[in-house]
Chains A and B, each alone.
Chain A
Amino acid sequence: DGGITQSPKYLFRKEGQNVTLSCEQNLNHDAMYWYRQDPGQGLRLIYYSQIVNDFQKGDIAEGYSVSREKKESFPLTVTSAQKNPTAFYLCASSIGGRDYGYTFGSGTRLTVV
């Protein structure tokens, strides 16, 4: 079955550490996205990528980095520069952009300890 796989489901990070969240899709979608969800804040866009080897900053990109070396993969690194990284991170993809529904992964819950 086609879909998006995010791993790990839960992640604990010590302050000062970088961590990388995995996102893999087998839907053959061109566009991929990373969102952050905090209680009462809805979904906020971190980064997005329309094609391989190209990505753009979203509304809250500071303290995060991404790469898009393969169409199927769009990993997100939460760096030590991100001051408040504890959140629920959602990866999504779409076949062609904003005129098509997004398919979301099941998310990674990151906690700083």
Chain B
Amino acid sequence: GQQVMQIPQYQHVQEGEDFTTYCNSSTTLSNIQWYKQRPGGHPVFLIQLVKSGEVKKQKRLTFQFGEAKKNSSLHITATQTTDVGTYFCAGPYSGAGSYQLTFGKGTKLSVIP
């Protein structure tokens, strides 16, 4: 079945440093989605990428979708303590059920003030 791998699993950064998490799929994706889960909270949808090579920005967050549509990255510039949380990527399941997303295991970001 489809697998979505995320690296690293954990990342500790000093406030103000940059952060990047990577997502790799075993199959080509029609789209990829990113979610953020704050400690003790629930996942919140951040963005969806659809086109090959697409780049989208949300303030200090930059999202990229690979040319082959099998990988993606999330880059945060100049991290702040409000960025703390776990970031998940998710891709559509390529099996018979067309309504599922497969989630990566997430990258847990800690920001040291």
B104 adjacent to A42 (CB under 8 Å) = yes
B82 at interface (Cβ–Cβ under 8 A)? no
B45 adjacent to A90 (CB under 8 Å) = no
Q: Contacts A40-B9, A105-B42: A45 and B100 contacting too (C-beta < 8 A)?
A: yes
| Residues of A contacting B104 in the complex (Cβ-Cβ under 8 angstroms) | 42
Bound form: Cα–Cα A107–B40 in Å: 10
B44 at interface (Cβ–Cβ under 8 A)? yes
B97 adjacent to A43 (CB under 8 Å) = no
A104 adjacent to B106 (CB under 8 Å) = no
A43 adjacent to B44 (CB under 8 Å) = no
B62 at interface (Cβ–Cβ under 8 A)? no
A97 adjacent to B43 (CB under 8 Å) = no
A43 adjacent to B43 (CB under 8 Å) = yes
A99 adjacent to B45 (CB under 8 Å) = no
B98 adjacent to A98 (CB under 8 Å) = yes
Contact residue among B45, B99, B103, B106 (Cβ-Cβ distance under 8 Å from A101): B45
Nearest neighbor of B108 in chain A, beta-carbon distance: A40
User: Number of B residues whose C-beta is below 8 Å from A?
Assistant: 24
B110 at interface (Cβ–Cβ under 8 A)? no
B42 adjacent to A106 (CB under 8 Å) = yes
Bound form: Cα–Cα A92–B43 in Å: 10
A103 at interface (Cβ–Cβ under 8 A)? yes
Q: Contacts A42-B106, A43-B43, A48-B97: A99 and B31 contacting too (C-beta < 8 A)?
A: yes
Instruction: Show the binding face of A for B, using Cβ within 8 Å.
Output: 31, 33, 35, 40-43, 45, 48, 50, 56, 58, 90, 92, 94, 97-107
Instruction: Show the binding face of B for A, using Cβ within 8 Å.
Output: 9, 30-31, 33, 35, 41-45, 48, 88, 90, 92-93, 97-101, 103-106
Q: Return the 3 tightest CB-CB contacts between A and B, nearest first.
A: A101-B45, A98-B92, A42-B105
14 inter-chain pairs at a CB distance below 8 angstroms, sorted by A residue, are: A33-B100, A41-B105, A42-B103, A50-B99, A90-B42, A90-B43, A94-B99, A97-B99, A98-B100, A99-B48, A102-B43, A102-B101, A104-B44, A106-B41
